[in-house]
Amino acid sequence: MLVAFLMNVLVAVAKSVAAALTGSASMLAEAAHSWADCGNEIFLMTANRRSRRPPDAKHPIGSGKEAYVWSLIAALGLLAAGGAVSIMRGVQELLEPAAGGDFLVAYVVLAVSFVLESVSFAQSIRQSKPEAESMHRDLIEHVLVTSDPTLRAVVAEDAAALIGLLLAAGGLAASELTGSTTPDAIASILIGVLLGAVAVVLINLNRRFLVGEEVDPRVRAAALRELLAMPEVARVTYLRLEVVGPRSVLIVGDVDLVGDDVESLLSVRLRTLEAKIRDSPAVAGAVLSLSAPDEPSLSV
C-alpha cells in the first residue's frame, strides 16, 4: 500500500503541473482526484494498522470495526476533495471560459497515469478474485459485500480512476477539436459526479458494517454446518454471526449439548466449546447459551 501511495503522489503532482500548464478543468479534476486518493491511502493504511490490534480489556473482541471508521473518513474525503472540487471547477469553466494551452503535456500525463492505474487495478483484481471464487461469488458481488473495506475501496477507486482518465482525455480531445472549453468543463463535472457516486456507495457500505451487519447467508449456513458437525453439539436453535472487522465475526448462538450433564458441568462444556470456536482466525468472539427444550432446531 505504501508503493501505491507514493505512486499516487507522483501522479497527483504530474496532473497538477499539467492542469496549471493547460488550464484544463478536467485535468484539474483529475489532479483533485489523485490528491484525494493520496489522502485516502493514508486513511486506509491507518485502517489496516488499527483494525489489527489484538483484543484487550477495553476491546475484548478486538478493534476490527476501526477499519470501517477510517474507510468511512476516506470515502468522505473522496466526496469532498474529489467530487466537490471537480464539479465546482467544471461549473466555473462553463460560466467563465478560459483560453486553453498546449494539451500535449496533458495527453502524456493522462497516458502514463492510465498505465499506472491499470497496473494497480489489475493487481487489486488479482487479489480479489481468489477470495471471490472461494465464497462462490462473482467479482463485482464480492467487492460490494466483502467485509474488508480497504479491498473494496482500492478496487472502487482504481476503477473510478480509469474511467475518470478516459473522461478527461475525451473532454480534452473534444475541446481541442471544437475550440470550445465546454466539453472539457462537462468532463470535469462528470468526473465529479463519478467520484461522488463512488464515495456515496462506499460511505453507505461502511455505515452498514459499523452499525452491525450480519454475514452473508452462505457464510452463516457454512458456520451452522460446522457447528452441527462438532461431536459436542446435538442441535442448534439460534445462530447469529455479526461482522466485527475485516474477515472477522462474532458468533452468538443457542445450542443443545450431547448428553445430560448437571448444570455445573454444562457451563464448563459451553466455555470449552466457545474456546474451541474462537480458535478459528475468522472468529473474534463466541457467546453460547443452552437451548430451551421447546425451541425448534435449525437446519442447513
Let me know if residue 232 belongs to a domain: yes
Same domain, 207 and 222: no
Same domain, 187 and 45: yes
Same domain, 186 and 203: yes
Print the domain residue range for 256: 217-290
Let me know if residue 300 belongs to a domain: no
What pLDDT does residue 101 have?
A: 64
What pLDDT does residue 263 have?
A: 65
Let me know if residue 295 belongs to a domain: no
- The pLDDT tens digits for 172-194 are 899 888 888 889 899 999 999 99
Q: Which one of 189, 211, 233 terminates a domain?
A: 211
What pLDDT does residue 3 have?
A: 64
Same domain, 103 and 200: yes
Same domain, 86 and 235: no
What pLDDT does residue 194 have?
A: 92
What pLDDT does residue 202 have?
A: 92
What pLDDT does residue 15 have?
A: 87
Q: How many domains does the chain have?
A: 2
Let me know if residue 146 belongs to a domain: yes
Grid cell for residue 111: 497516458
Q: Which one of 164, 193, 211 terminates a domain?
A: 211
What pLDDT does residue 82 have?
A: 82
Let me know if residue 297 belongs to a domain: no
What pLDDT does residue 100 have?
A: 61
Same domain, 226 and 194: no
Same domain, 207 and 221: no
Please, which residues have CB within 8 angstroms of residue 296's CB and are 6 or more apart in sequence? 237
Instruction: Kindly report the CATH number assigned to the domain that includes residue 11.
Output: 1.20.1510.10
Same domain, 221 and 73: no
What pLDDT does residue 163 have?
A: 93
Q: Which one of 196, 211, 226 terminates a domain?
A: 211
Instruction: Kindly report the CATH number assigned to the domain that includes residue 278.
Output: 3.30.70.1350
Same domain, 128 and 230: no
Same domain, 187 and 237: no
What pLDDT does residue 175 have?
A: 87
Let me know if residue 102 belongs to a domain: yes
Low-confidence ranges of the chain (pLDDT < 70): 1-4, 99-102, 263
Same domain, 152 and 283: no
Exposure string of 89-126, with b = 16+ CB inside 10 Å and e = fewer, is bbeebbeebeebeebebbbebbeebbebbeebbeebee
Same domain, 206 and 234: no
Let me know if residue 155 belongs to a domain: yes
Let me know if residue 296 belongs to a domain: no
